[in-house]
Each structure stands twice: as structure tokens, then as C-alpha cells.
Structure 1
């Protein structure tokens, strides 16, 4: 019957034919070659950006020495996840204990969201909230074992238990009046661990801030070591932000405590993986900036051996990325003092401040070279009269699918940080799209205009509570994908009477500029100690 007749295909397109198989192999080879080329392009760019190809030479003697703790010091180590305490401060902790200093270690999370590591460690899927909580407990015990190797007693270790990979969402959107953050991995919106500092506490920014404030006030540290604001991991950024906010709320003398930052995640950094006991840990080239004073603590052979033994206790993490974690087993710990941007000190001074993408080498910079028209170019901040002005330049106008998000989180003396306005300003191709804030009337306090190809926002300082400091960040998105992202900066708005007054190039206007593209070929070096 005709309707039952088989219709044959041309042999050339039949799936089992040699020609089809050849086309499939050719396509596979072409795609593989493209991926390899992109990989080499990325690795080559990263290596060049970090100075690995000799673009910038940084010697160890260009980095100052960390002020050594004494028996009178109280050292507070703040770690986003278990294992960060060893990677960032494994040598420093030993030195502090050796001289009789008090040491306390506080973890923001239980590290319960590293699903791939858990599955690699257990050799089976880890999917349910019960399984994930069990792995959080495993990581807590690993951290206690590692700190025991370093010499820290269990009673000096605290776990807050806030959501792993959720701290930045807490910081941005879960302040007063907002619903607690919901963790789908843990099926919970509150701290689920009885061993935590505040078990049952809702996942909210106010609770994180309250816990850190209580710990700081109770321990009264003389030195604080915490994660770096330019770290590529959002939990690391958020912990630095919460720490600064807690110090603001406590005021003097806490706001004068030196805070040292350690870096863990930054693209291809550190260069050369696996154990590098004979080499030194040096800063990424992109983070050699005027507002970062890098210092080192040199480990002796015994301290390095102990740090190595401590890291081995984090077996669940070493199962997936041993080469990366072991690359921190070097002859020094590395720290940076990150100074606030002095916008209005004094009132008549211009200042040029670098504002690089958060990922310096990784996510943003490679994309910047492949699609340079998409990204942030400059971000200027100025205070004039009663307004705070933000001027943003992109390499080309925003498309209808792209948005620019600017965050402004002010601090005002005398006002708890949790109660200050938190602004999320969203710009699109047409201009000001919307404003998210704790204060419902904030949109009326923001004006938008275009000037010389730039987008300019004017924000009433009074509506912000006449702040003396401001946390600032920005990011660019397309269809939900982050194209470029700038690390958070702390901007000091109050004038500093100790600095000399210089001639005003433009009366009444205070400027600070972040530029995305410093000349990568220019020699960058830290001042000799």
C-alpha cells in the first residue's frame, strides 16, 4: 500500500552513513579546537595579567612585613568557610599562639554548599537537605581538627551557620523588613545547626551583623584578619562588608582596629599549582593599588609543615581541588590593608582611584577582550553641594537587554547600620528603571541625566541620612548574565582635618574616580618597606 511505502533518505544524510559520521567528527574536532583556542587565549591573558609572563615583576622585598603579634594581642580570624582559616592565616595563627596572644576563629558558614566537593569526597550524590547538613557538620569537624593542629582550642572557635553562597544576597537584599533568605539546599530560612552561635536565627543581614557585633564587643580584638573585598567569591566579599559595618556600629575604639585581608579566590591566581613550599605568595598584579598595602608573614619550616598538616584535615575539599588548595602551602601568608577612598578629605582635592572589575583576570577581563564594547569603562563619584553624584561610562550605550546596577549603602554616625537606607539603583537603555530601598520615597531623591555620553545619577545626601561613609558597588547584566562586576569600595565622605588643604581645581566639587582600565603594560610595584 502506498501509505505504507518506506521513504528512503539520501545515503549522504543517513545517520549511520560514513559521510554523516565524518561530518560529525569534523564538527566535534572544530568545536574542540575552538574550545582549546579560547582556553589558551584565556590562560594566556590571565598569565599576562598576573605578571606571569614578565609584564610586571614584583619581588618579595617590595612587600612590607606584617606587624608581628605580641602576648598582649587578641587576634580575631574571620573566615567565610572552613579551610579559609588555614589557607589565609595558617602561619599567622601559629605565630600568634607561640608568643602567647589570644586567638579566636569565627566561621561565617558551615561550608555546606560545595556540592561537587561533597560528591567527589563521598563518591555518591549529595542532594537532600539532610545529606547537605551532614556535610556541613563534616566540614565543621574538619575545621576543628585543622585548628587543633594549629594549636587553637575548640572553645575559641565559633560557627555562625549562615547560608554558604548566600552571604552576598543577605547583604544586598535581606535587611529590615525583608523576608529571611530561603536556602533551597538546606530547605530552611534559619540557622539549622545546634552547634552554631545563634541556632534558629533567621537568615537576615541584621542577624549576621548582630552576631559579629556581639563577638567583636565580647572579644575586643586588637588585630582582625578577614577575607578580601576583591575576592572572587561573594561570601568572602560579604564577610568583609559585614565586618566593616559591625565596626562602624561599635564606633570608637573598635573602628580603629587594624583589619588585615587575605585573598583566596582570584582567577588563575596563585600562579603555579600544587605544593610550592619553596616559592612565595605574591599579590595579583591587578590588586597592586594605592589603597592596598600588602604585607607578608614568613613561615619557618616547622610552621609550614604544621600548616600543611592542618590543610590535610580538610579532606572533603582536597578530594576535588587538591592542586589549588595546596598552592597556598608557600613560604609566606599574604595580607592587605584596604583603605577607604577619601572622597572629601580635604574639600579641595582631586583624587584618582582605580576601580577594577571584581574578577580582575577571570570572568570580566577575558570577556572585556572578546567583547570590549559591553563593559563598564569608568565610574566616578563626586560630592557637590547637597548631592552625591555618580557618573558612569560604558564602552557603548546599553542595549535594550542590558542593565546597570549601582548599590549605595550609607553609614551615618549614630544610626545603626541595619536601619540606614540601602539603595539598589537599576539603569537601562532608557535611563532610570527602578530603585529598590528600605525607604519607599527614595526614588524622588534620585535624578538621572545624560552628559557627554555618560549616565549621571544625583542622589540627595539628606535622603541618605547625611552619611559619613558609603559602601559602593556596580555591575552590568544582560539577560540575567553578569557581564562585568566591580568589587565593593568603602568611601569616606567626612573631611579629614589632618590633611593639608590644596588649591581647588573646581570649587565646590569633590571627586573620586574609579577607572576600569589602568594601563596593563605600565610598571606597577609596591613601595619598599
Structure 2
């Protein structure tokens, strides 16, 4: 069919399909190797910057070693107390069609034992490990779904809507977001770390980015309840899941882990920590203790045993009156996305107007298609307990919905034009929060194909708010 008879978007889609077919799978892999390579050197964190009691947040058994195994060793050598929090027991790994629910739980206990052995190899005693027992592959559902404990989430692997593990930090803890927050707050209060290691918000695994969101929420709650007590904690985020990263895959103890190129443009301050040959070797041996994982993904796991580790300091965003702040979102290059011509979120912009309205703009790389839905999710902090803490704004078919109900209140306005979506609402309606976490999704028929990372935003009080 001649080009002039095709719409622009259809012509571009067909051109992309043809290009991928011509390049072949080998070129696609080569493109990924280039795209996720390092743009340059990464600064080193010196020993003095890593002193003090440390707490490591890990979504699954092995993440603590993959992301921070070298840092853990440095803390141990200095005599610092190191504690590790395992949010799940990794029981969601598919083990075959005949796996029973009781076998999934037994597999979770097996992964706990592997964690004991791996961390003991790095010098962390068993009593310094907390198992929370939340559902593997279900943390995002607790953050963005089963928040209240009246309707807990049910794990498809174990069939339980509470922790079935006898050694969970809170026995029989229900599978809901509030339970995760309470556990994290209790551990933070007990351990009082000076350094906190946690997943990066742009990690693509749902359990990882939601672990970041839960931790930030719990920490911010404590900051507000106990002013000044937790403001000096230094947060280092680590990356485990991000496309084909780290490249190359395999055992290269003397090589560097390089930053994914697309993440270099974020507002994250990336830092590096050097590992001695002995540290890298010990980290390698610790990874081998995760036998249940090594047998399936040896080369991937060993890619983290290098002569350095990467950490990112992600700034808390401060929103002053009558100014705009933005945080970018990296473009995701996937084979399916290229073939189907999926749009992608480019950035989120926030403005606090002089009349105390919060204006949220979600910017896209391409023109927003009429069939696409946009979700903006806010979880507020520091509001009265009688007010809702969750606000889910969904634009679908040109209409605006709030928490599943059609929104007809004129206080809330929405506009979609070209490559952006705008939402405006009075801050007072949210309960004048002191902070909130915000994330955005681009969807079609409830299927998410682009997501902006959840970020913590603190509202700078205006004169009118402080004197009200």
C-alpha cells in the first residue's frame, strides 16, 4: 500500500517492524549491549562515608548480596552493626506445574537457609536478619492495591493472605500495605541505622520499586512523628533488574559494573564503591550459597561479583509555592515496545500554584493516543487519620475517575493535549499533606506498558498554610 494511503502512526509502525526484521536478533542484542553501557567513570565512595550502623532492605533472598555485598563487608570490617531485612522469602519462583502450596512454603524456608549461609559468609550473624514473610511477586499489589488490611492480598503461590512462616517478624501478619509499613517502622526504630541500602526506584522489578516506595513512606512517617530523629539517615539505592544490565554477563571478578546509559540522565547522584579482590571473591562465594537460584541464572547472578558496586542517591523533591519541579523517566527500549509502537512516559512535572492548587503534568515521548489511559497515584503523608491517604486518578475514555468512581467535582480538572496529560486539584482536598509519594502509569485496557518511578515529594509550607 502506498505511504500516502497510510496514517503516519501506521506507517511508522510498519517501518519499525521491517527494520527489526532486517537487523535480526543479533543486532538487537548488540543494541542492548550498547544502550546499557556506561557513559563514563563513576565516583568512588571513600571508607569514611560508609561508617555507622547499616540496614539493608532486600525484596528477595539474594538481593542484599547482589546489590550491597561489598558494602556489607566494609561495614563488618569497621565493626559496624549490619542488619538485613528480607521483605519476602522468594516463594514465588515457578517450580513446575505440580508444585503445591505447601511446597512453595517449604521452598521459602529453603531460601531463608540460603540467606543465612550467604550472609554468614560475609560476616552477618543470623540474629541480625529479619524475615517479614510478605508475598513474593506481590509487594506491588500491597502498595498499589491491598493497602488496608480489611481486604488482604492472597498469594497465588502459597494460597495465604497472611504470612504462613513461623519466623516472620510479625507472626501471621496480613498481606496488606499497612502491615509492611508498620514492620518497617518498628525495625527502623529498633535499629536506628545511619546508612540505609534499598532498591532504586527505577528498578524494573515490581517487588523492587515497591520496596523502595514502602521504605520511603515508613521513613517519612517516622520523620514527621519524631522530628529530627531520622533526618540524618543516608540512603544508598542499588540496582538489580534493568533490561540486559549488567553487561557483559558472566564471571568477571576484575571488571567494573557500569551504569546503564539511560539512567545516567536521571537526577540520581551515582556513586561507586571499590571492592578489593578478596571482597569480590567473597561476594562471589556468597552468591554461590543461593543454590536454588544459581542453577537457573548463574551468569546473571555472577555478573554482580565485580571489583565495584554502584549506588545512587535519589534526592527528595521539594515543592515550593509557584514553582515547578520535574523528574525525568528514562525511555525503555524493548523489542515488543518497538514492534507495537508503544508510547512511553518522559517526565513528571509538579507545580504548586499561588492559589494552592497542585498541578501534575505527565509528559510522554510521543502523542498520547485516545485509546491510552493515564493513572496518577498519590499516597499522602502527614494528614489527619480521618482523611484518605490514597488518591488514584485515572483518565480513561476522556473521563476522570477517582479511586474507581467517576469524578464530577469541578474542583478537579484534567486536560490531555498532544504529548501531555494535566491534572489540577486543590491541595486542601488532599488534607494539606506534608509530603506524598507520586507515581504514574500509561495503560491500555488495564495493561501497563509504561511507568514513571514513585518519588517522594515534600511540600514546602506557604505562609497561608502555616498560619491557617
What TM-score range do you get, normalising by the shorter chain? 0.7 to 0.9
Distance 1:151 1:168, change over 3 A: same
CA-to-partner distance for each residue in 1:270-295, whole Å, 9 max, x for gaps?
Answer: 11001121111122122224631111
Conserved 8 A contact 1:88-1:264: yes
- Residue 39 (structure 1) aligned to one of 9, 15, 25: 25
Distance 1:150 1:419, change over 3 A: farther
Q: 2:295 matched to which residue of 1?
A: 319
CA distance in 1, matches of 2:428, 2:406: 12
- Residue 343 (structure 2) aligned to one of 345, 363, 374: 374
Shift of 1:369: 4.4
Summarize the alignment of residues 28-107 of structure 1 with structure 2, pairs less than 5 Å apart.
37=23, 39-40=25-26, 42-50=28-36, 52=37, 57-60=39-42, 62-65=43-46, 67-70=48-51, 73-107=52-86
Q: 1:138 matched to which residue of 2?
A: 110
Query: 1:249 aligned to 2:221?
Result: yes
Conserved 8 A contact 1:190-1:203: yes
Shift of 1:96: 0.7
CA distance in 2, matches of 1:393, 1:181: 32
- Residue 398 (structure 1) aligned to one of 369, 373, 388: 369
Q: 2:249 matched to which residue of 1?
A: 273
Q: 2:203 matched to which residue of 1?
A: 231
Provide the secondary structure at the position in 2 that maps to 1:484.
strand
Q: 1:148 matched to which residue of 2?
A: 120
CA distance in 1, matches of 2:132, 2:33: 37
CA distance in 1, matches of 2:271, 2:125: 27
Conserved 8 A contact 2:44-2:274: no
Distance 1:38 1:107, change over 3 A: farther
Query: 1:430 aligned to 2:395?
Result: no
CA distance in 1, matches of 2:350, 2:175: 32
CA distance in 1, matches of 2:410, 2:183: 33
Q: 1:216 matched to which residue of 2?
A: 188
Summarize the alignment of residues 148-187 of structure 1 with structure 2, pairs less than 5 Å apart.
148-176=120-148, 178-187=150-159
Conserved 8 A contact 1:408-1:473: yes
CA distance in 2, matches of 1:289, 1:377: 12
CA distance in 2, matches of 1:100, 1:277: 26
Q: 2:166 matched to which residue of 1?
A: 194
CA distance in 2, matches of 1:446, 1:131: 52
Shift of 1:297: 1.6
Distance 1:254 1:496, change over 3 A: farther
Shift of 1:424: 1.3
Shift of 1:57: 3.3
The structure number with the bigger radius of gyration is: 1
| Structure 2 stretches lacking a partner, 5+ long | 1-16
Distance 1:315 1:42, change over 3 A: same
Provide the secondary structure at the position in 1 that maps to 2:429.
coil
Summarize the alignment of residues 279-290 of structure 1 with structure 2, pairs less than 5 Å apart.
279-289=255-265
Conserved 8 A contact 1:126-1:132: no
RMSD: 2.8
Which structure is higher in RCO with an 8 Å CA cutoff and minimum separation 6? 1
Shift of 1:131: 1.0
Provide the secondary structure at the position in 1 that maps to 2:91.
coil
- Residue 427 (structure 2) aligned to one of 461, 481, 496: 461
Shift of 1:44: 3.7
CA distance in 2, matches of 1:239, 1:450: 32
Provide the secondary structure at the position in 2 that maps to 1:256.
coil
After TM superposition, the score normalised by the length of structure 1 is: 0.77
| Structure 1 stretches lacking a partner, 5+ long | 1-30, 120-124, 498-507, 509-529
CA distance in 2, matches of 1:162, 1:444: 38
After TM superposition, the score normalised by the length of structure 2 is: 0.86
Distance 1:130 1:399, change over 3 A: same
Distance 1:451 1:362, change over 3 A: closer
Q: 1:526 matched to which residue of 2?
A: none
Conserved 8 A contact 1:435-1:443: no
Distance 1:452 1:307, change over 3 A: closer
Distance 1:350 1:306, change over 3 A: same
